[in-house]
Structure formats: C-alpha cells, structure tokens
Amino acid sequence: MNSDTNAKVASGVQTYAEKVGAVDLIEDLTKLLLVEKPADPLPFLAGHLERKATVTMPTEAGACGTEEEAKAYLEEHKLPQILEELLGRLLFARPDDPSAFLAEQLREAGGSSAAYFTDDDLHGMFSLFDPTGTGSITAAQALAGARSLGLEPADDAAPEGPMDEAAFVSWARERLDAAKVL
C-alpha cells in the first residue's frame, strides 16, 4: 500500500469516527463504568448500548471514587484494553449503527479477539508489509504488523530474522490467541 492509499484510509477512518462520535462514545462508556462500577461490565455495557441510553454523569465531586479506585476498577476488568479493542473494531467495520454494533460485540465477548482477525486478514497484513512481493518481511515489520493488530509483543516474543508469509501468520495467530481480551 503506498502513502497516498494509507492517507486515504486514515482520512476515511477519521471522517467516520467524527461522524458517529466514536471517541466520545467510548469516553462516555468509560465514565459510565466508573460511576456505576458494575461487577460484570460487558453485559452492563451491552444492555446500555441496546437501550441507546444516554450517559448522565453525576455533578458532585468524588462520585466516581478516588482516582486510585477508578484505576483499580478499570484494570481489574481489563477495561482500557477492551474499550480500545472495541474502538478499533468500530473503526474497522464502520457500521451504520455504532451502538448496536458495539452491543453485539460485547454480547459475543465470550469469544476471543483472535476470532476477529481471520487468517485471510493476517495474510493481507503480511502483504501490506511486503509490497514488492519478496515473500519475506523483517522482524521489525512483523512487530509493526503485530502492533497494527493491537498487540504489544514482549521482547521475548519478537521474531528472529526475516519471516515468510506462513511463519508470520502462525506467529501473529499465536500472539492473538495469547492476548484474548474480548
């Protein structure tokens, strides 16, 4: 993919995000979680989105607890990772009804994030990093591909040397399976 194509894709994502208020929606859901602190946040959010309820924030200071309590709650339920993944899925799919789409994603959360990316997607990712068709990408390109998939591979998980397409797909699939968030 050349830089003009990348710019067009990025522009399309940004236009969609602005049109549907994607970032504001995720921020509002985060605030709602911090106010309500449901024991099982995913079904809670799905129900909220299905009702297309609006988020009403309390006005008194401290309604969400202390900053430490808020951070602990978010981390306990892996909510930053989940909300980031939901935003990525939303921007990738660009549905007409973002609330219904997110509710469906949350209802299906019993599956894994690995199921979201098919092997065809991983083959496509490889081809993006191998635009000249050499059949091989560097370890740095593989890591960049993993980051594009929302992964942050540990140093010990980094590939050694160049990878062919089959090796990249296998390597990326293993990391997606290990990073199950949704």
Give the pLDDT band of residue 115 (cuts 50, 70, 90): very low
Superfamily of domain 115-178: EF-hand (1.10.238.10)
**Which pLDDT belongs to residue 113?**
45
The more confidently predicted of residues 64 and 162 is 162
Backbone Cα Rg of the chain: 19
pLDDT at 3 over 70: no
Give the pLDDT band of residue 153 (cuts 50, 70, 90): low
Query: Roughly how many angstroms between the first and final C-alpha of the chain, as a whole number?
Result: 29
pLDDT at 21 over 80: yes
pLDDT at 6 over 80: no
Q: Mean pLDDT score of the chain, rounded to an integer? A: 80
pLDDT at 95 over 90: yes
% of the chain with per-residue pLDDT over 70: 80
Q: Which residues pair with 164 in a beta bridge?
A: 136
Using CA atoms, how far apart are residues 40 and 97, in angstroms rounded to an integer? 24
Q: Which residues pair with 136 in a beta bridge?
A: 164
Residue type, 152: E
* Mean pLDDT across 37-61: 73
CA-based torsion, 80, 86, 92, 95: positive or negative? negative
Distant-in-sequence, close-in-space partners of 160: CB < 8 Å, separation ≥ 6: 139
Using CA atoms, how far apart are residues 62 and 52, in angstroms rounded to an integer? 26
Using CA atoms, how far apart are residues 50 and 53, in angstroms rounded to an integer? 8
% of the chain with per-residue pLDDT over 90: 12
Give the pLDDT band of residue 181 (cuts 50, 70, 90): low
Q: Where in the chain is the domain with CATH 1.10.238.10?
A: 115-178
pLDDT digits (tens, 9 = 90+) for 120-152: 888 888 988 898 999 999 988 888 888 777 777
**Which pLDDT belongs to residue 50?**
84
